Chain A
């Protein structure tokens, strides 16, 4: 029966049940740190992309995320009535209309 921690042998130390979870946790923390560095590094290299050059060259204003309706394709260019284009009480046809809010400018009073 050991009286203090020093009497535990090295062989016994290696077999302890807590070792594997601690190693896995340490590994997880290491990969977490690597993911932060990876994000930093990849963000640095991707900054000057062809997309930005195309936006400048063509004078583009919007992302091509939702191409189904004109007020979601060019969200920032939409007017107040575009979601209700057929008549004033017509409901929005397109699912992406529920995923996008009205342009910021139109939400101001």
Chain B
């Protein structure tokens, strides 16, 4: 064993010295290789973290949301639907939700106005999301003025700024009292935006939803599991889009790496010929080249992966933020919580380290099995 290890160390010494002789070329390769791993790992870690965070947050979303549809569009739902839904067996609790959108021409941003079930602000006051406070430069006690649906001016005093920790779900929220909400939007009492339900037995959720579509044909139920699946699909889709965009650069890298790894230069062939002539056997040459591939690809993987980890979890994915923001003025500043899927890291490792190492070894094996004299000529 000791003999084997020492032998490998000498082979590594020789490989490093050989790589150092073509320093510029190999450093260039390491740089490009690292960049590719960095981009792939960044996308992977970011989407994985968002997906995990979404599943942790939205697991507390309402079990069923019932929306009323009119001519294919979302319509306000009358209060008497609550009583009709209450008759469905299995429904444990239900409440009407009041929420809507407001476009603020001052900062050209969309807000979500909502009435909390508990701890609602008193009339004339508002609790604002952290991104709104940041964008409009608001502090506690400041006033926010909007024009209502009837053209009247409304001034709300900021009574609370929602915690920045919850920005991923509350960036654009404005929490107001029920009276203010109804007056502001001109919504009559007895109408709600939609209805949220809790079902006694989680296994019966689908059955309850089916009963609701029969009982109230102009409504559609949205289940929590569908909300979770939507976000799961969203991040898979986005990861897919970025990977497709990266495909061009990936292919360029594959061609570059394949050319570098598999196309032996005359100098390298001569080197192999000399090694064989001075007594190295084919196995030694292959092991030496294996170390070359492994050192470069493992080094690039580690550098790229660790840089991506820092980028996502310490610098909050600064490079991706402009893409995610789109046209939105309000964008949540959030700190992705690290969640690493071992299988994904293993897949990334396999698809970045393994092909390069193989691409290095195979042509060498071909050159090393030929006669030294023929190789050197």
Per-position 1/0 for A65-76, Cβ under 8 A of B: 111111011111
> Contact residues of A with B, CB < 8 Å?
5, 16-18, 21-22, 24-25, 28-29, 31-32, 35-36, 38-40, 42-43, 46-47, 49-70, 72-77, 79-82, 94-96, 99-101, 103-105, 107
Which chain A positions have C-beta within 8 A of B233?
101, 104, 107
CA distance A70 to B298 in the complex (A): 45
Contacting pair B169 A54 (CB below 8 A)? yes
Q: Which of B222-230, B273-281, B353-361 forms part of the interface with chain A?
A: B222-230
B119 to chain A, nearest CB (A): 8
Which chain B positions have C-beta within 8 A of A29?
302
B74 part of interface (Cβ distance < 8 Å): yes
Of the candidates A31, A47, A57, A70, which one forms a contact with B117 in the assembled complex, judged by CB atoms under 8 Å apart?
A57
Most buried by A among B10, B60, B117: B60
Contacting pair B339 A105 (CB below 8 A)? no
Contacting pair B3 A17 (CB below 8 A)? no
A26 to chain B, nearest CB (A): 10
Of the candidates A28, A61, A67, which one forms a contact with B330 in the assembled complex, judged by CB atoms under 8 Å apart?
A67
B351 part of interface (Cβ distance < 8 Å): no
CA distance A53 to B112 in the complex (A): 18
Which chain B positions have C-beta within 8 A of A63?
54, 57-58, 168-169, 231, 332
A72 to chain B, nearest CB (A): 8
Q: With A16-B9, A64-B332 known to touch, is A49 a contact of B166 (CB < 8 Å)?
A: yes
CA distance A18 to B16 in the complex (A): 6
Contacting pair A59 B329 (CB below 8 A)? no
Per-position 1/0 for B330-342, Cβ under 8 A of A: 1110000111100
Per-position 1/0 for B189-226, Cβ under 8 A of A: 00000101000000000000000000000000010001
Which chain A positions have C-beta within 8 A of B116?
57-58
Contacting pair B16 A67 (CB below 8 A)? no
Residues from 155 to 173 in B contacting A, C-beta threshold 8 Å: 162-163, 165-173
Contacting pair A25 B169 (CB below 8 A)? no
8 A-B pairs besides A52-B60, A59-B61 with CB distance below 8 A are A17-B17, A42-B313, A42-B338, A57-B117, A58-B116, A60-B169, A76-B226, A96-B327
Contacting pair B172 A58 (CB below 8 A)? no
Which chain B positions have C-beta within 8 A of A66?
324, 326, 328
Contacting pair A94 B327 (CB below 8 A)? yes
